[in-house]
Chains A and B, each alone.
Chain A
Amino acid sequence: MMRGSVCIWQRDMLVLKRNLFSEVITVLAFPLTFFITFGLGLKGYIQDIEGVPYAIFVVPGLISMTAVLGAFDDASWGMWFHRIVQKTIEEYRVNPITVTEIIVGKIISGFTSGVLKGITVGLSLLLLTGFQFTLLFLSVYLIFIFFGCITFSCIGSLCGTLIDKPENLGRVEAVVIMPLIFLAGLFFPLSAYPERVLPYIKAIPTTSLFDGARIALLTGKVDAFYLALLIASAIISFVLAVRVFEKKMHG
């Protein structure tokens, strides 16, 4: 039934494996720079946040950011490249697989890439900070990462399906994705926001991901509202990505 998705996923993983070294370097550079400048550079000037040292406070957010940006980038640029540059989507479409299998394959590839990148950065940061966590806390945290990566992979696939010009794809990342991540309290606690702004910030799906994931990793608690909002975001973005791709392909 999903033969096409498996073929596409296997193809994407083969290419990822082939470029593993350059991928690892690229994926580590961005969050490690953030960690050094904010986590280490500012830790002497910032008091512990809710009893957590600042360098530790930013770690869950940096891992989450790497994972979801990895999922978004892989899905959006991957879809755009295969659709516009290589035109391999057209080749996939003359095979006995459905367009749904194609988009699901690309979403799973984006998701896998995001999770692998998150794990790479996570391991590096945990080694650097010597942060101790329990396996239970980590597994709850991974639930948030899982749904976050699905959501961002779907949003990426949607952008790669709808956007034809590469500069516009870059703009979406700069103007929409990055602000959504930074607004979600990546480097500061949500309590820093004014009371009247806070409900709006909490309604953003990225807040569910970043704040919810941080709470999970540091305390092992699951915020039910955050998790429900994240799951709803994943389902909605999945349905949207699949429907829009199907509509676009069937002209």
Chain B
Amino acid sequence: MENEIELRRVAKAYGSLLAVKDVSFSVQKGTVFGLLGPNGAGKTTLVNMLTTLLKPTSGSAFVGGYDVVREAAKVRSLIGVVPQENNLDRYLTARENLILHAKMHGMSPSSYQRRIDELLSLMGLAERQKDFPNKFSTGMQRRLVVARALVHDPQILFLDEPTTGLDPQAKRAIWDYFLSLKGKRTLFLTTHNMEEADFLCDEISIIDNGSPIAHGTSAQLKEMAESARFYEIEVARNAEEYAQAFQRLSIIESSFLQDGSIQVCLKKEGNLGTLVEQIDLRDLKKISSREPSLEDVFLKLTGRRLRQ
């Protein structure tokens, strides 16, 4: 299959700080690629280089077969970008924001008017198209930014944390739309939402401190964590204290609180009984075994959680 995006030993330095170090990978046409990592890992710097906003300090990158430095204008005609921030024009209405974008892509009114109607409807913004974005909720602004990136029907979409700030229903609608593009368009997604990466991505690269630390499908990455067993423990009280106490046990690889329950990674040779002995049975509500997640993979690889 043809590569739509290709990076060859790309690095970016800001003075003495190396934000991206020697990164090489490729993304196949028609697939959804996910770049997973914590804040400051270098995800946005990578996206900025691929979308021609930043020049790499060394190495080369190609998007749609074009060099991002030497053929930047050609790259920009192929891509749609959803940046991390909602950089909408607050002095233009929602519709005018989309029209300006269409005009910059050289679209004629006959082609962009219908497309804009479709997108506003898809994003649930048709009724608010004459309003200014500063009157919108964060979620509505986000949907408008996504609509803007799609106006010119780009061949490649760069999505920098596209569903941040969206409610679950809107998030799901946008995910479904992205999924419908699979096979026809190439999507490059950065996220620290495990569920999003798991749901959308064909391939995932985990990045930390500017370097990829693992690469593969969601299932392949989860296999990396299979040398351990994962449990979710619910207690009636003192959850924080229990999580800390578990962490001190030699049989425990990691233990942390998430959404009120304790997520425990037990070493392969560890005994669940030893763990349970630490809990006052009057406090114990539930212990369940679970599948490893991408969060577990990241934790296992780096010793840190994605959102700390």
Contact = CB atoms under 8 A, between A and B. Distances in A.
Interface of A: 3-4, 7, 10-11, 14-15, 18, 86-88, 90-98, 250-251
A94 to B, nearest CB: 4
Interface stretch (B84-92, B112-120, B263-271, B285-293): B84-92
Contacts, number: 62
A7 B112 CA distance: 15
Interface string B60-82: 00000000000001101101010
B115 to A, nearest CB: 16
Given A7-B100, A96-B76, A88 B106 contact: no
Q: Main SS of chain A's interface residues? A: helix
Contact of A95 (B55, B89, B101): B101
A-B residue pairs, 7 tightest by C-beta? A95-B104, A96-B77, A87-B87, A94-B81, A96-B76, A15-B91, A7-B103
Nearest to A96: B77
B232 interface: no
B106 A96 contact: yes
Contact of A96 (B73, B88, B96, B148): B73
Contacts of A87: 83, 85, 87
A182 B92 CA distance: 37
Given A86-B90, A91-B87, A96 B104 contact: yes
Q: Main SS of chain B's interface residues? A: loop
A195 to B, nearest CB: 51
Given A7-B100, A96-B73, A14 B92 contact: yes
Contacts of B90: 86
Contacts of A93: 52-53
20 contacts: A7-B103, A14-B92, A18-B91, A86-B87, A88-B88, A90-B53, A90-B83, A91-B89, A91-B101, A91-B148, A92-B104, A94-B79, A94-B81, A95-B76, A95-B105, A97-B73, A97-B104, A250-B55, A251-B54, A251-B55
A3 B104 contact: yes
Contact of A88 (B51, B76, B87, B96): B87
A39 B55 CA distance: 55
A94 B106 CA distance: 14
A189 B177 CA distance: 69
Nearest to B96: A14
